[in-house]
Amino acid sequence: MRFSLLLMAPLLFIGLAAKPALAATDIIPASAQIQPAQLAGELKATPPTILQVGFSKLYQQAHIPGAIYAGPTNSETGLTALKAEAEKLPRDAAIVIYCGCCPWNRCPNMDAAYTTLKAMGFSRLRALYIADNFGQDWVDKGYPTVTGQ
């Protein structure tokens, strides 16, 4: 792939601006995290509202039954989508957010989603702890999964 320098210059600037954050997901307290096995259990009893805040191609391949797509929250567009979905919910709704695009400490979406929903006043907000990715930590474990838009 060859691009002229003239073409590259402005795109380089755009690319740098969009560079993914390398920071770890470190603002979600352990007390607000839920493990996959626990959520799978809750799905059988009283499912919380589940928001997938990751990337659409991941959601389209596989997601937790009932999960609403509201992402990706590493972008303003995704945060707007998340806020729009959240506005429909009572502030005391039990909510679980998840992504699973990358290892937990590499995820570019979870911190922003958690911070945004906390700022909106949601009091029963939890984050699904996905150690490596949604495939290994949810689908491969045999937890319920659907595919679709």
Per CB under 8 A, residues contacting other proteins are 1-3, 7-8, 11-12, 14-16, 18-22, 40, 43-44, 55-58, 60-62, 65, 72, 74, 100-103, 106, 108, 132-136, 139-149
- In whole angstroms, the minimum distance from the beta carbon of 146 to other proteins comes to 5
Nearer to other proteins, 92 or 140 (CB): 140
- In whole angstroms, the minimum distance from the beta carbon of 74 to other proteins comes to 6
Q: Is the separation of the CB atoms in 77 and 55 below 8 Å?
A: no
Distance CA 66, CA 51 (A): 9
Nearer to other proteins, 35 or 56 (CB): 56
Nearer to other proteins, 2 or 88 (CB): 2
Nearer to other proteins, 47 or 120 (CB): 47
Chain centroid offset of residue 62 CA:
13
In angstroms, the Cα distances linking 23 to 13, 83, 126, 127 are: 21, 23, 20, 17
> For residue 54, which of 122, 138, 143, 123 has the smallest C-alpha distance?
138
**Helix, strand, or coil here: 116?**
helix
- In whole angstroms, the minimum distance from the beta carbon of 40 to other proteins comes to 6
Nearer to other proteins, 51 or 122 (CB): 51
Q: Is the separation of the CB atoms in 69 and 102 below 8 Å?
A: no
